[in-house]
Structure 1
Amino acid sequence: MAGKFELYKDDSGMHRFRLKASNGSVVVVGDAHESKESLLKNIESLRKLAPYAEVLETSGSPA
């Protein structure tokens, strides 16, 4: 089974997603969006860009 995007509303009523791997573990949690439409656009962007994303190793804390 492939991974899946789960859509939900957080405690403040904002739309979010979590991407789960096929084993059920959460891989990514998306930022909050005011509309479901905006959230779905964000997911589509991730689907398009992820196959081409580079893997870069850096030192220090994330910005």
Structure 2
Amino acid sequence: MPGKFVLTKSDSGSFHFNLVSPNGQVIASSESYTTKGAAQNGIDAVRTVAVDAVVDDQTGTRS
């Protein structure tokens, strides 16, 4: 079962999305957007960029 993007509208009228794992945990949360279209563009951007994203580990520790 794949994860999903959950798009919501707040009481104040702003939009945001969460990326939710198959077990229901929120993996990532977006900034607030003024329009639904802008939030959908944000989802599309995450889908595009995350596919080939590398991990830039700046913790200075070993795994």
TM-score, normalising length: structure 1: 0.85
What's the counterpart of residue 36 of structure 1? 36
Greater Cα radius of gyration, structure 1 or 2: 2
What's the counterpart of residue 50 of structure 1? 50
Structural mapping, 1:1-63, within 5 Å: 1-59=1-59
Root-mean-square deviation (CA, aligned residues, Å) is 1.5
Alpha-carbon distance in structure 1 between the residues aligned to 2:3 and 2:59: 30
1:3-49 deviation per Cα after TM superposition (whole angstroms, max 9, x unaligned): 01111112432100011000000001111000000010111011011
Alpha-carbon distance in structure 2 between the residues aligned to 1:40 and 1:29: 13
Q: % of aligned pairs identical?
A: 35
SS at match of 2:51: helix
Pairs aligned (count): 60
